[in-house]
Amino acid sequence: MSVGILEHKSDRFINDVISQLSDIQIEFISTTGESVPMESSYRVIVDRLSFRYPFLRELMKGLSLGGTYVINNPFTSSLTNKFIEIQLGSRLGLPFPRTIILPDRSSQDETESLVSQPLLEQVTDEIGLPCIIKPFDGYAWEDVYVVNSIDELRERYQSLYSSRILMAQQMIKYTDYFRVFCINKRDILIIKWIPKPLAMGHYLHSDTDLLGDAKNTINTMTIQLNTSLDLDMNVVEWCVDGEGKWWIIDAFNEVPEVIPEALPHDYYTWIVNKFAECISEKLSSDIRNRVPFHN
């Protein structure tokens, strides 16, 4: 049995993980195309690339249906967006800011008036100002804006809705912000984070025991979310406001950037070791990904 890696060979994080699995046969995956139905020699595949490439995502789904355990579940990963995270998370009791999804241009132009322009005055009445406007499927802060007036909201919406489905969201004035790594649906690492766009955010050492009862709540809810989604690696972004209320800002970061220089060394080592442990456990088991079909 072997492990396949779907990631750039130069990625330092995955190479550090591989170094912890020296007794396991591991290789980087390459393909020129595949026969269908697909067969695989891999018991486990670590997939950190297919979220960018539809061809690779469909290959991962095929291999998962054939019995290969893919980290992360390609069926879950292909469904994750900010609309689904709020819809699902709210059913689990997770706290999200007030949010309204806004129609894109094509749904308005091509559905014979079944979908109309949003009434932005009603939007701001519900979520307040200032607020956040962002794509429902955004990544890495792309096209995320703070808007302070209805006119500014209208301007941003009109400039983006031809190409993106957008969400308007209540802006949380947080006092502290955390990224919570969840690995293997059980191992939790809470790290204080200073969020900034364009991958410029940075992590800080922090004593999470100072969070009190909130620490157990964050742990429990984060594990519950990832178990529900069948995600073996995910980062959930939590923050707390000035009144002590906790919020989830982003529930899906299933391929988080793990950069040695960006993390305190002991946190980076923890992530590497726990992820290697997760891979090893899956390799030695007969577990399969949850799929939306009955065998």
Q: Which residues lie closer than 8 Å to 276 by C-beta, 6 or more apart?
A: 17, 20, 21
Q: For 150-205, what is each residue's pLDDT tens digit?
A: 999 999 999 988 888 899 999 999 999 999 999 999 999 999 999 887 667 889 99
Q: Give the 3-state secondary structure of 12-77.
A: HHHHHHHHCCCCCEEEECCCCCCCCCCCCCEEEEEECCHHHCHHHHHHHHHHHHCCCEEECCHHHH
CB-CB contact of 18 with 11 (8 Å): no
Q: For 266-292, what is each residue's pLDDT tens digit?
A: 999 999 999 999 999 999 999 999 988
Altogether, the residues listed in the chain come to a count of 295
Question: Is the pLDDT assigned to residue 220 strictly greater than 60?
Answer: yes
Question: Which CATH number, 3.40.50.20, 3.40.190.10, 3.40.50.720, 3.40.50.620, labels domain 2-75?
Answer: 3.40.50.20
Domain boundaries, the chain: 2-75, 98-170, 174-277
Report d(CA 119, CA 116) in Å as an integer: 9
Question: Which CATH number, 3.10.20.600, 3.30.470.20, 3.40.50.300, 3.30.720.110, labels domain 174-277?
Answer: 3.30.470.20
For domain 98-170, which architecture applies?
2-Layer Sandwich (3.30)
Nearest to 151 by CA among 165, 177, 130: 130
Q: Which amino acid is at 272?
A: V
